[in-house]
Amino acid sequence: MVRAAFKLFSAERIVLVSDSLSATGMPDGKYRSGGCEIEVKQGIAYLLNSNTLAGSVTNLYDCMLKAISYGIKKEDAIRAATINPAKVINCDNIVGSISIGKSADFIICDQELKIKEVYIEGVKVSDD
C-alpha cells in the first residue's frame, strides 16, 4: 500500500505523519497520556490493565525509515517527512528544509540513516 500510494500520488504529494502519544521514545512503563493511564510494553501502548491499544508510540523518523524499508527511495521518504508536511500546514517558510531564515532544526545521519547529531534552532543538542 505504501509503495502504491507513492506511485499513484508521487513523492511531491505524500505526507508521512505520526499521531504518536506523549510516551513516544520512552522505555517500557506506565504513563499518563490524554487523561488516560497507559502502559508501554515492547514498543506498543495499551490502556492500563488491558489489551486495548492506546495509540501509537512510533515517531516520524521511524515512519520514514519504515517507508524506506518498503522500497520507497530515501529522498522521497525524507521529502514526505519534511518539506511536504510543512507545505501542507503553510509553514514551509520556517521549517521543512534547510535555508537562511528557517528554524534550523535538523539531524545529521550516516549513509545507513543512523542519527549522528541533532540540532535545534541551529544548536547541537546531541551526538550518537
Q: CA-based angle 46:59:31, to the nearest 5?
A: 35
Tens digits of residue pLDDT in 8-52: 999 999 999 988 999 998 999 999 998 899 999 998 999 999 999
pLDDT at 92: 95
Tens digits of residue pLDDT in 61-100: 999 999 999 999 999 999 999 999 999 999 999 999 999 9
pLDDT at 34: 85
Buried-state track 17-54, b at ≥16 Cβ within 10 A, e below 16: ebebbebbeeeeeebebeeeebbbeeeebeeeeeeeeb
pLDDT at 128 over 80: no
